Amino acid sequence: MGLKRSQLKQLKKAAFLDAVELYKAHSGSARRGFNEFILAAMQEMRAYEVEDDLEAYKALLSVLPREGRLKAKSILHADVGGYKQQQDTVVRLLLQLNANREVHF
C-alpha cells in the first residue's frame, strides 16, 4: 500500500523544517554560515516540495541572527550599505517566495 501524495508531501515538509531546526540548534546564537545555509536550503526547496509553503520561508528567515550581529556599526557603515551579501540573500529569498506564492510586495 504506500503513502498518499499528500502524506509524502507532509513528510518532506517535516524533514525540511527539521533540517532548519537542526541547523539552528547546532549553530548556536552566532549562526556561523547562516548565509550559505539559507542559499543551499533555497536550492533544495523544490526537492522537498516546499517552494510554495510560507512556513518554510518563515523557517529560513528565522535562521538569521537576532542579536544585533547584522546592525551597522557606524553611520558610514549604514550609509554605504553594509552586509550586502546577507541583504542580497534575503532579497533572493523574498523574490523566490513571490515567484512561487503569488505574494506581491
CA 29 to chain centre: 16
- 13 in Cβ contact with 48 (< 8 Å): yes
At which residue does the C-alpha cell 498518499 appear?
A: 4
Residue 12: per-residue pLDDT: 97
Q: Would you kindly state where each structural domain of the chain is located, as residue ranges?
A: 5-101
- Please write the tens of the pLDDT for every residue from 4-15: 999 999 999 999
Q: Which residue has the higher pLDDT, 87 or 20?
A: 20
- 56 in Cβ contact with 99 (< 8 Å): no
Give the global pTM.
Answer: 0.85
Tell me the average pLDDT across 15-25. Answer: 97
At which residue does the C-alpha cell 510554495 appear?
A: 52
